[in-house]
Amino acid sequence: MTIMLKRIVNPVTLLVFVAGTVLTTVSPAAHAASTSSSRWLPSESSGYAWALENLAADNPNNAANFQVYYTPAVKLYDIIAANGSTVKIKWLVTDAGGKALANTPVTLAINPAYTYPTAKLLDPVLDPTKTMAGVGRDPVKMDNADIPLVTDANGFVTYSITNNTPKSDAEALIPNDGVSVPPSSSTIFTQLQLYVGTFANTIDGYKSRNAIQTSQDIDILEIHWEAGAVKGPQVAPSTGGTTAAGAPAAHQIRWDQKNTVGVSWNYINKAALSSILAGEYFTPKVNFYDLFSLFGTKVNIAWHVTDAAGKALANTPVTLIINPAYSNGTGNVKDANSKTVPLAYNGNQDGVNIPLVTDANGDVTYPLQNLDTASTAEPAPFDKQSAPVGTPNVSTQLLLYTGTYANYAARTPSWSVQKIQDEDILEIHWVSSLPVATTGTPSSNAGGIAPSGGIQPTGPIDTSNSGDAPIGFGSGKAPKNLTPPTLAKNVKVGGTVTASLGKWDLGGNASAAISWYACKTVGAPANKLPGGCTLIPNLTGTRLVVTAKMKGSAIRVAVKQTNQSGSSVKFSASTSVVKQG
């Protein structure tokens, strides 16, 4: 398919395309008072695996919401069905007062502008690809499957649709976790809209249906034909414990100001926080800090990580995101391994996803070295109470999450991880000098640069890269160990042994499990449990305190990485035989 559009764009305002370029657009009409309602009945529909309301499309504070083009009561549902299945959809149609509209003509619009199967639908016959050839879009063809129907005596109407997309072309399966919706890179789905009235497949019919979008409350349905989609109980994501509602309990990742080194001052950016909260991209307990450091500075940023109850998450894998989608700088930065991290956004979601592990107190730190010069650094704000200077903005955005994530899409299908972990978002601004004042207000002769307002994100952390794999899929292979876990060679009773997890090709979103063993003999790394080794119970972290019971044994650690394609285990080489301290 030569043209691919993002789903969260109004399908009927884009009238003419030539080689993917918009030539003509139509502004949406003002909303009129609602005249009727067409609502999907999930419990009385059949043939699908599960469904989830796409709240991002419903949210009036989200710049990508559907309410600009429909009524404020519009809803979008993602329906997950197996490729090749038949789905029977049932709606209830009422007037503005909620009274059923009996024996009333309605029109089901199967919208090929937002329908992308690689195979035709059998019932009705629909080939949306024929309107996608590089010859432009005829408004008549935008709805080449407007199907006239009639409600029954109780205001109900049903319709069955059969998909014949081959397994090789079906969408990859997303988790049924109550959070994840198909990514914006989805390619195999069918969009349905039901309206009161009869509208012909002509230009006039198209125009008349277009106009009523802002006067009828509807449910927009997108059926995603996914490989292996079956009915089953909702499962929670593998990011920790779950609440009674089935959603993961929130972990808390908080910036530790006291143990952070190299930051000159900080500012709570309420404007940016307001934008983030309005868009519902994170949990309501998200914070947003602007940190200020002189250009060329090396900083060591510290965090404290706890569970939902405030208990420190000791020896827990976490992932640090250095996010170029919301970072800028000509000098870039270096990470802890002296690798340069480009901050000029080039379509790549995450410049670096860095796996880390908290210590026994739930603390974790990371150093960054800025490479900007005085000529490329950001101007300082007027004083330490002022927002960053908007232009130019030379900053590095940091996000930390519990868990191990191979890429952007593994972490944020529909921002699922962002929405279940309370965190502090940090933006380090690399400034050319200290503020010109410590208090007061800017004036014409102060020599400072007056602030121009907070740095306000206009949407979620970028979701534009369609090349990333959905959660749990990645390469589609089980994790593969590249270098084995390691332990110190010599240990004594009373000492502490710290395990390195080694390096892994995670193949997607993965979780790590750690086990410790006491062995009768020393030995090299292994892919399976060596003979003579016994599990040490109740030890799951990266640190072990050597007890007198371990004297005479050699210690090994095993790391098991699991993604949705499988698991892999690697045993470290053993320590030497434990001696008396």
Which pLDDT score is estimated for 354? 80
Confidence of residue 36 (pLDDT cuts 50, 70, 90): very high
Confidence tier at 391 by pLDDT (50, 70, 90): low
Q: Which residue has the higher pLDDT, 435 or 449?
A: 435
Q: Given pLDDT bands bounded at 50, 70 and 90, which one contains residue 304?
A: very high
363 pLDDT higher than 70: yes
The whole-angstrom separation of Cα 430 and Cα 263 is: 10
Residue range 480-571 in CATH 2.60.40: yes
The residue-averaged pLDDT of 17-43 equals 57
Q: How confident is the model at residue 61 (pLDDT cuts 50, 70, 90)?
A: very low
pLDDT at residue number 34: 83
The 10s digit of each residue's pLDDT in 100-154 is: 999 999 998 877 666 655 545 555 555 544 443 443 444 444 445 678 899 999 9
Band (69; pLDDT cuts 50, 70, 90): confident
- Per the document, the length of the chain is 581
Q: What was the pLDDT predicted at 32? A: 63
- Give the mean pLDDT of 346-368: 79
Domain 251-431 carries which CATH code?
2.60.40.10
Mean pLDDT of the 446-473 span: 31
CB 466 within 8 A of CB 513: no
Q: Say if residues 572 and 525 touch (Cβ distance below 8 Å).
A: yes
* 496: pLDDT strictly greater than 90: no
Residue from 462, 453, 458, 456 nearest 61 by CA: 458
C-alpha–C-alpha distance, residues 379 and 451, integer Å: 10
Residues 166-181: tens digit of each pLDDT: 888 888 888 887 777 7
Query: Residue 139 and residue 313: Cα distance in Å, rounded?
Result: 57
Region of residue 362 (left: phi > 0; alpha: psi -120 to 50; beta: else): left
Q: Using CA atoms, how far apart are residues 534 and 328, in angstroms rounded to an integer?
A: 51
Query: Smallest Cα–Cα separation from 262: which of 240, 295, 235?
Result: 295
> In the prediction, which pLDDT does 407 show?
60
Residue 445 is predicted with a pLDDT of 30
Q: Residue 50: pLDDT band by 50, 70, 90 thresholds?
A: very high
Tell me the two tokens of residue 371.
Answer: 């490479």
CA neighbor of 418 nearest in space, from 408, 406, 430, 429: 408
Quick one: which of 79, 48, 70, 126 has its CA closest to 221? Answer: 79
Find how far residue 479's CA is from the centre of its chain.
21
Q: Which residue do the tokens 């690399």 mark?
A: 430
The chain-wide mean pLDDT, for the chain, equals 74
Residue 472 confidence (pLDDT): 31
Residue 351 has pLDDT above 60, yes or no: no
Residue 387's pLDDT is: 80
Q: Is the pTM here over 0.75, yes or no?
A: no
Q: Per-residue b/e over 386-425, b at no fewer than 16 CB within 10 Å?
A: bbbbeeebbbbbbbbbbbbbbbbbbbbbbbbbbbbbbbbb
Tokens of 150: 């009639």
pLDDT of residue 410: 56
87-96, 278-287, 294-303: segment of lowest average pLDDT? 278-287
Residues 6+ apart with CB under 8 A from 357: 315, 316, 317, 318, 364, 501, 542
Which of 40, 378, 21 shows the shortest CA–CA distance to 194? 40
Residues 6+ apart with CB under 8 A from 157: 90, 91, 93, 106, 149, 150, 151, 194
Share of the chain above pLDDT 90, in %: 26
> What's the pLDDT band for 457 if we cut at 50, 70, 90?
very low
* Confidence (pLDDT) at 45: 94
Beta strands in 440-538 (DSSP E): 480-483, 496-498, 503-505, 511-519, 533-535
Q: How far apart are CA 463 and CA 416, in angstroms?
A: 12
Q: What value does the mean pLDDT take over residues 71-84?
A: 88
Instruction: State the CB neighbour count (10 A cutoff) for residue 288.
Output: 26
Where are the domain boundaries for CATH 2.60.40.10 in the chain? 251-431
Higher pLDDT, 415 or 88: 88
pLDDT class of 28 with cuts at 50, 70, 90: very low
Q: What percent of the chain has pLDDT over 70?
A: 68
Q: Is the per-residue pLDDT at 258 higher than 60?
A: yes
List alpha helices for 179-264, DSSP H.
203-211
User: Quick check: 564 and 520 in contact, CB under 8 A?
Assistant: no
Q: Where is mean pLDDT largest: 32-36, 305-309, 331-335? A: 305-309
The highest-confidence range among 14-23, 66-75, 271-280, by mean pLDDT, is 66-75
